[in-house]
Amino acid sequence: MPKRSGTTNPFSLAGDLAIVTGGGTGLGFAMASCFIAAGARVVITGRRPDVLESAVARLGENAFAETHDVTDSKNASALLARIQKRHGAPAILVNNAGTHVKKSVEETTHKEFRAILSTHVEGAFSMTQATVPLMKQAGRGSILFIASMSSLIGMPLIVAYSAAKAGYLGMVRSLASELGPNNIRVNAIAPGWIETPMLTAALSGDPQRTQKILSRTPQQKFGKPEDIGWTAVFLCSPAAAFINGAVLPVDGGASIGF
């Protein structure tokens, strides 16, 4: 089994190259930051070059940007070829890019439903499909899907998002089973309510919803972006070498709280 050289720290990602889709903001940026702190080099992708450039400037010399829309599935292989040529083969892929629509089932259009599935499910599939051959050549890899509380519990007004995030869990289990013999592990994180600009906007002017969330979270607080970042580091590190096909809630206990 191929091993990384030069480190005895099982939580180190030294020598690894990670790709984080949607890495310019929010949880993607937090994961990229934690990966770099753990010794990895990181390529962040996204649709907005200005956002990526700003993120790279904050992340430092071990961060690189590649503009890419995950819904552009036909160019995923070209993206991976470009990354390999410039930075080497990736050891880690984080399928994080996503979009969201909050509407009732009657108000959600078919176009909106398809757009959510295209971004999350088809986007993650195309990135994974393009990355796997390079990981097979290297003899190892870790693929991480950023799922959601809506993968685990019923939540109103987000039927398209819930369908996409539930679909992630089926992909994780199937891919973990298929790719395990190639020493490629596939896992997921299901974040709870994390303090990001998206959450702030969602809860703005809605103290009742804020209290509802906190009341069903045993730790009675929101998570920090780095809570997801360090979990991603763990799941992609040698410390998690025998974890495959798992979905790890990072939610303060909200998915099991009462």
Active site residues: 161
Pairing of strands 17-21, 41-46: parallel
Please say whether the beta carbons of 217 and 194 come within 8 A: no
Q: CA nearest 195: which of 65, 10, 27, 80?
A: 27
Please say whether the beta carbons of 216 and 257 come within 8 A: yes
**Cα 250 from Cα 227, distance rounded (Å):** 7
**Cα 202 from Cα 37, distance rounded (Å):** 30
